[in-house]
Amino acid sequence: SIFFRVCCPLPDTMSTLADLKLVLTELETFRKQATTMRVQCVLDKEIKVVQAEVQQVESAQKKTSDPAPMDTDAAPPAANGGAPLKIPTDITNYGWDQSAKFVKVYLTVKECGAGFAAEHCKLQVQDRQFSVMISCPSGKLYRLSVGSLGGSITPDGSIVKAKPDGSVTVSLKKADTTTWENLKKKEERIKTPNLGKDEDPQQGLMNLMKNMYDEGDDEMKRTISKAFYESQTGKKPSMPDDDFGTM
């Protein structure tokens, strides 16, 4: 697929959801216009990718508007002895670096003062995501949750450290020694051309396929070249993949 980078923190979900739905609508329009099976397959694959992204953003949006209750063991009692605090404050500012074996994430919670230590931090690690729940001695609750990491991590060897000044260091054990390009993985998506009212739909489809070809990897180029050849000749190519020229 052809992709765009998703930076951290994530952009506003409302505008992202609207953009994704617009892309999905245009892709479905081009899919209806496609006449060859290979072009249809290329577009079907990209439609599934965008549909999954729409569902992901809608799910995140729902969680933001209606947060799930926290486990009682993760929510400390308030300092005044009242009901436990169940809704944490999300942390959005943090830094990171890496070594051959670890990725380290740094953050500071100034509200956590004297008495703050590692036992006030609960770390959860999965393959490509982690979260740390911070329970300040004062009773305030904070959370950092990062998904779609730039590589795989493992809970074995991953630890969290904290200091009385509120600084927290999360050391995530890499599953391998690969150097990450970013804390979060790069995501890309095809750029769909705008289809004006007076534009020929078939020309719009050709423009889309050209964009996908120009920005795609070698596998994408071969797939689109085959589709183009079949649409022009009405038969499957007999030549090897690498013999196709550019569009």
Give the pLDDT score at 6. 33
Q: What token pair was written down for 162?
A: 């904290």
Give the pLDDT score at 72. 41
Give the pLDDT score at 83. 55
Lowest mean pLDDT among 7-11, 43-47, 88-92, 133-137: 7-11
Which residues lie closer than 8 Å to 226 by C-beta, 6 or more apart? 38, 236, 237, 241, 244
More confident residue, 192 or 215: 215
Q: Which of 116, 120, 122 has its CA nearest to residue 163?
A: 116
Report whether 169 contacts 105 (CB < 8 A): yes
Q: Which of 126, 184, 179 has its CA nearest to residue 4?
A: 184
More confident residue, 210 or 71: 210
* 8-state DSSP, 108: E
> Mean pLDDT over residues 19-26, rounded?
84
Lowest mean pLDDT among 12-16, 24-28, 36-40, 182-186: 12-16
Give the pLDDT score at 26. 84
Q: Are strands 89-90 and 95-98 parallel, antiparallel or unpaired?
A: unpaired
Which residues lie closer than 8 Å to 9 by C-beta, 6 or more apart? 92
Most confident option among 70-74, 109-113, 241-245: 109-113
Which residues lie closer than 8 Å to 234 by C-beta, 6 or more apart? none
With 0-12 CB in 10 A as exposed, 13-18 as middle and 19+ as buried, what is 78? Answer: middle
Query: Within 13 Å, how many C-alpha atoms sit on residue 149's CB side?
Result: 26
Of the candidate CATH numbers 2.60.40.10, 2.60.40.790, 3.40.50.880, 3.40.630.30, the domain formed by 73-174 belongs to 2.60.40.790
Which pLDDT band holds residue 103 (cuts at 50, 70, 90)? very high
**Cα distance between residue 42 and residue 60, in whole Å:** 28
Q: What token pair was written down for 30?
A: 């081009």
Most confident option among 127-131, 221-225, 236-240: 127-131
Most confident option among 64-78, 181-195, 200-214: 200-214
Give the pLDDT score at 191. 54
> Mean pLDDT over residues 121-127, rounded?
94
**Cα distance between residue 235 and residue 110, in whole Å:** 68
What are the two backbone dihedrals, phi and then psi, of residue 96, each rounded to the nearest 5 degrees? -155, 155
**Cα distance between residue 118 and residue 244, in whole Å:** 59
More confident residue, 21 or 85: 21
Q: pTM for the whole thing?
A: 0.46
CATH code 2.60.40.790 region(s) in the chain: 73-174
**Cα distance between residue 2 and residue 192, in whole Å:** 10
Q: Say whether pLDDT at 66 is over 80.
A: no
Alpha helices by DSSP H, listed for the chain, are 13-33, 37-65, 201-215, 218-233
DSSP β-bridge partners for residue 150:
none
Report whether 225 contacts 206 (CB < 8 A): no
Q: Say whether pLDDT at 188 is over 50.
A: yes
